[in-house]
Amino acid sequence: MNILDKIVADKRVEVKLRKGLIPTKQLEESVLFERQTTSLAQNLRNSTTGIIAEHKRRSPSKSVINQTSSVWEVAQGYEKAGACGMSVLTDGKYFGGSLDDLLTARASCNMPLLRKEFIIDEYQLLEAKAYGADVCLLIAACLTRQEIKNLSELAKSLQLDVLLEVHNQEELEKSLMPSLDMLGVNNRNLKTFEVSLETSKSLSTKIPNDFVKVSESGISSIEAIKELRPYGYQGFLIGENFMKTENPAQSAINFIKKS
């Protein structure tokens, strides 16, 4: 069982528990549920930097990344730095995140927020909307084509942008459909955790131009972004690069200035 299978198995148990605690009706009645969302895809199309900055405390591959920076400060700093959007990890067991992190980020900035989560159930999309997200992540590696279709169509009906993440051509081919806004290529091999920008390069020609192309993982320098731009990438998800420093917000400011 690879790490993704393990996370998804745990996630099924977690979602079942959450459904028992907070009924759907309660999520739909929350204050933020009626909020007008902001499109990350649109932001990326109009941006010169294309940076989506992440808040992440830890990960299965790196254990602790940053347990001290407050979400509030990081979100405000990323916005000040000129990031196009912010990705907020909400998985607790493996990444040390929570839906409260999403709520805090929403209260502290106006940029589009991506709920970075292993979404396997429609309930999680209602949560994303209720907690202030503008974008949801769907991971092709843990969903069937029909599940991607159902989840992405529900997301669109909730006015959430959809970022679909793929790791290889097979995942990409099963996933292409009109209810997606962005296609993210994860440069990290989920089985080995090795990272290579070649993944983004080789898949770039297979992604139709209707979708905003986003490259994820292993982007730790301006050079990497410059290398990927000619391949049509407009979005760059930067996770650990900012968070592994003492002041993620300042790191983002310095990075974006150079780009």
pLDDT digits (tens, 9 = 90+) for 199-242: 999 999 999 999 999 999 989 999 999 999 999 999 999 988 99
Verify whether residue 66 is a known catalytic residue: no
Choose the catalytic residue: 56, 79, 171, 175: 56
- The C-alpha atoms of residue 240 and residue 254 are separated, in whole angstroms, by 15
Does residue 163 contact residue 137 with C-beta atoms inside 8 Å?
yes
Length, in residues, of the chain: 259
Active site residue 217: yes
Known active-site residue 186: yes
Position 239 scores a pLDDT of 82
pLDDT tens-digit readout, 13-48 = 999 999 999 999 999 999 999 999 999 999 999 998
- Asked if 136 and 119 touch (Cβ cutoff 8 Å), the reply is yes
Contacts of 110 (CB under 8 A, 6+ apart): 38, 79
173 among known catalytic residues: no
Question: Looking at residue 71, what is its pLDDT?
Answer: 96
Q: Which of 14, 54, 171, 240 is catalytic?
A: 54
Structure tokens at 21: 């605690």
**Domains, in order of start, for the chain:** 3-258 (3.20.20.70)
Active site includes 54?
Answer: yes
> Given CA atoms 203, 9, 118, 155 in this order, what sign does their dihedral have?
positive
Taking residues 153-169, what's their average pLDDT? Answer: 97
User: How many CA atoms lie less than 13 Å away from 163 in the CB half-sphere?
Assistant: 34
Distance CA 126, CA 28 (A): 7
